[in-house]
A and B are shown apart, each in its own frame.
Chain A
């Protein structure tokens, strides 16, 4: 199944089987099942990029990848390894939340320990509730112990720099945020990162995003994986249940990161 943006892409020939570094892989078979949830509704800020980067970096490690783009009139499969959810505008966000609540596939996948990363509007949907386009409180999926209110001040728009929760062992995060929501964190989650530049959750305490176990939410797009390939690698490692992956070239990502980090620290 493929969403009609894409074209068959050509990749380098497959390398040796993945089992060589996955001792107790969660993966049901040798290919990574990458589920992109609702690109018809939640793909406003280049969110396709996250799926493309995860896929690329998995293939560079010799993994097969089965990308499953799930349109909002289709059932969300429960057997995916990694689920990506993007950002969207207010009305599509409400529609996505309604359909995901009715579908329950994502919730069941999460109960089975699936790896989920959601951005912006998708992040808000993973929480208990958010404010929808009609100004009403809209229930989310409750997969993250967060809830979102509407910010009173100016929209949070601009480049972000943040230090990730040290337990995740990730380098500095760089990205772009564009949201009005203010996301409050409950006891059941930790902040994904703490901002040095930017607004993050918008609560004024410097927190950015939230995570628990294998479920992650962030306000950063850019898309976030393009500027932070280590996040893509983290998801792949979680899916394989390994601590390390074979190296894969990061020359251009590193150059972009250096440029964006410098530009964000010292705006023109």
Chain B
């Protein structure tokens, strides 16, 4: 739990109920101890300790904040950051910017929030309903749902069902991606929904109607179920090319420093969220322009005299979006895949990724599961080289900026490797 000592924090903490006060202090002590022991920032541990002492702490801390929750399979960290920047136009913001997105991490982030007006909170999909109950948000952004870590995650439709059940009585305005049938189904039982046509490149988890099981028809950007009539709602907001279209049909250019279609979609949803709090799209979008790398993602680093861009892709939908933003061939590409617990230990998802799209790029494969990747690429008919380290890949790579795409723990390792 970060130790902020501003007067505002002190005043705010003084106003907390006794139990919450003790919990916050205990959490801060635990976090400091954990930090001293070299275990990262200690914020999650601090949050755990604090929540144990006061199970209502999250609710207490959220009470005088205007809270926005952001959940999705992909893009929630970036979108949380974009919304946080946009809302800073209207007041101070507290956010779990580093992606600690389960209740303990969220509690820790809010406890460090001092004088914030807004709480912009990324929430793990599985915890969304509970966090929504505790924090009584004004808005909830639902971006997308797709397969991720199949060895332990629930199926995507079950996740949509959990959202649907858990959010149906919420007073929050739901900002939902109308192009994702699973998200639409989850949101369509809510009272207040703002639909955003944010697009969805990955379609393989929604060929079956989430409502009745019928086969989904998907002509162009539209989708509908012939059997039960469940269909794409009319969007209020839309991403059109590189513009946000607002409900009054105003078109606002998006100028992000973050690359890719997925981030244009994230900016569109973020603009729709900002509007709920009275921040107009032009102001929101202008503020989003200041966001560069998010937790190291999209960071261009200099390594061994070469430019290397670090890209995170954790699941098939994420890889698909990433392929669409990398430099054209012959830009060299490094792929790194691990299968540790945090990645999911089942690598079969590699076969759901269209690696065929990398034709023409010089390709280097590395990571714990480089041989799984090698077979995948061989079957795709691609040329590639297997390497042990990023250093080797960089030394062998032909000229040009190197695009390094990695899944979760492999990405952390790449960051470490280039930090030297």
The smallest beta-carbon distance between A229 and chain B, in angstroms, is 9
Asked if B276 lies at the interface with its beta carbon under 8 angstroms from chain A, I say: no
Pick from A48, A72, A252: contact of B371, CB below 8 A: A252
Contact yes or no, A46 B371, CB < 8 A: no
Contact yes or no, A221 B348, CB < 8 A: yes
Number of interface residues of B (CB under 8 A): 35
Contact yes or no, A7 B357, CB < 8 A: yes
User: Given that A10-B381, A176-B346, A223-B351 are known contacts, is A4 also in contact with B150, CB under 8 Å in the complex?
Assistant: no
Asked if A9 lies at the interface with its beta carbon under 8 angstroms from chain B, I say: yes
Mark contacts of B141-171 with chain A using CB atoms, 8 A cut-off: 1 yes-contact digit, 0 otherwise.
Answer: 0000001001110010110000000000000
Contact yes or no, B375 A256, CB < 8 A: yes
The smallest beta-carbon distance between A226 and chain B, in angstroms, is 5
B150: chain A residues at CB < 8 Å are 44-45, 178
Asked if A89 lies at the interface with its beta carbon under 8 angstroms from chain B, I say: yes
Pick from B351, B354, B371: contact of A49, CB below 8 A: B351
Asked if A102 lies at the interface with its beta carbon under 8 angstroms from chain B, I say: no
Contact yes or no, A253 B215, CB < 8 A: no
Tell which of B152, B203, B208, B354 has the most Cβ of chain A within 10 Å: B208
Contact yes or no, A5 B354, CB < 8 A: yes
Contact yes or no, A256 B207, CB < 8 A: no
Tell which of A7, A10, A178, A256 has the most Cβ of chain B within 10 Å: A256
Contact yes or no, A43 B204, CB < 8 A: yes
Asked if B331 lies at the interface with its beta carbon under 8 angstroms from chain A, I say: no
Number of interface residues of A (CB under 8 A): 42
Contact yes or no, B208 A256, CB < 8 A: no
Asked if A52 lies at the interface with its beta carbon under 8 angstroms from chain B, I say: yes
Pick from B157, B203, B378: contact of A252, CB below 8 A: B378
CA of A47 to CA of B375, assembled, Å: 15
Contact yes or no, A56 B379, CB < 8 A: yes
Q: Enumerate A113-139 residues with CB–CB distance to B below 8 Å.
A: none
CA of A231 to CA of B187, assembled, Å: 44
Contact yes or no, A47 B381, CB < 8 A: no
Contact yes or no, A178 B346, CB < 8 A: yes
A71: chain B residues at CB < 8 Å are 207, 215
Contact yes or no, B379 A72, CB < 8 A: no
Asked if B173 lies at the interface with its beta carbon under 8 angstroms from chain A, I say: no
The smallest beta-carbon distance between B264 and chain A, in angstroms, is 22
Contact yes or no, A95 B375, CB < 8 A: no
Asked if A244 lies at the interface with its beta carbon under 8 angstroms from chain B, I say: no
A5: chain B residues at CB < 8 Å are 204, 352, 354
Asked if B22 lies at the interface with its beta carbon under 8 angstroms from chain A, I say: no
Contact yes or no, B151 A259, CB < 8 A: no
A44: chain B residues at CB < 8 Å are 147, 150, 155
Contact yes or no, A92 B380, CB < 8 A: no
A265: chain B residues at CB < 8 Å are none
Contact yes or no, A252 B352, CB < 8 A: no
B126: chain A residues at CB < 8 Å are none
Asked if A41 lies at the interface with its beta carbon under 8 angstroms from chain B, I say: yes
B151: chain A residues at CB < 8 Å are 157, 176, 178
A90: chain B residues at CB < 8 Å are 155
The smallest beta-carbon distance between B221 and chain A, in angstroms, is 13
Contact yes or no, A223 B348, CB < 8 A: yes
Q: Enumerate B183-238 residues with CB–CB distance to A below 8 Å.
A: 203-204, 207-208, 213, 215, 218
Asked if B372 lies at the interface with its beta carbon under 8 angstroms from chain A, I say: yes
Nearest chain-B residue to A49 (Cβ)? B351
Contact yes or no, A176 B348, CB < 8 A: yes
B352: chain A residues at CB < 8 Å are 5, 43, 46, 48
Asked if A64 lies at the interface with its beta carbon under 8 angstroms from chain B, I say: no
Q: Enumerate B43-88 residues with CB–CB distance to A below 8 Å.
A: none
Asked if A62 lies at the interface with its beta carbon under 8 angstroms from chain B, I say: no
The smallest beta-carbon distance between B128 and chain A, in angstroms, is 20
Contact yes or no, A45 B346, CB < 8 A: yes
CA of A39 to CA of B207, assembled, Å: 9
Nearest chain-B residue to A249 (Cβ)? B378
Contact yes or no, B213 A89, CB < 8 A: no
B348: chain A residues at CB < 8 Å are 45-47, 49, 176, 221-223
CA of A90 to CA of B161, assembled, Å: 14
Nearest chain-A residue to B202 (Cβ)? A5
A226: chain B residues at CB < 8 Å are 351, 372, 375-376, 379
Nearest chain-B residue to A159 (Cβ)? B345
Q: Enumerate B343-372 residues with CB–CB distance to A below 8 Å.
A: 345-352, 354, 356-357, 359, 371-372
Nearest chain-A residue to B156 (Cβ)? A89
Asked if B374 lies at the interface with its beta carbon under 8 angstroms from chain A, I say: yes
B157: chain A residues at CB < 8 Å are 89, 91
CA of A44 to CA of B208, assembled, Å: 13
Asked if A242 lies at the interface with its beta carbon under 8 angstroms from chain B, I say: no
User: Given that A89-B155, A255-B374 are known contacts, is A52 also in contact with B215, CB under 8 Å in the complex?
Assistant: no
Contact yes or no, B208 A92, CB < 8 A: yes
The smallest beta-carbon distance between A47 and chain B, in angstroms, is 7
Contact yes or no, A47 B351, CB < 8 A: yes
B374: chain A residues at CB < 8 Å are 252, 255-256
The smallest beta-carbon distance between B210 and chain A, in angstroms, is 10
A43: chain B residues at CB < 8 Å are 204, 352
CA of A259 to CA of B374, assembled, Å: 13
CA of A226 to CA of B215, assembled, Å: 29
Apart from A91-B213, A178-B151, 14 more pairs, CB < 8 Å: A5-B352, A10-B381, A41-B208, A45-B150, A46-B347, A46-B352, A89-B155, A91-B155, A157-B151, A157-B346, A178-B150, A226-B351, A226-B376, A256-B375
A-B pairs with beta carbons under 8 Å apart, 23 shown:
A7-B356, A7-B357, A41-B208, A44-B155, A45-B348, A46-B348, A48-B352, A49-B348, A49-B351, A49-B376, A71-B207, A89-B157, A90-B155, A91-B157, A91-B213, A95-B208, A95-B213, A158-B345, A176-B348, A178-B151, A178-B346, A227-B375, A255-B371
* A-B pairs with lowest CB-CB distance, top 8: A46-B348, A49-B351, A46-B351, A40-B207, A73-B215, A256-B371, A89-B155, A252-B374
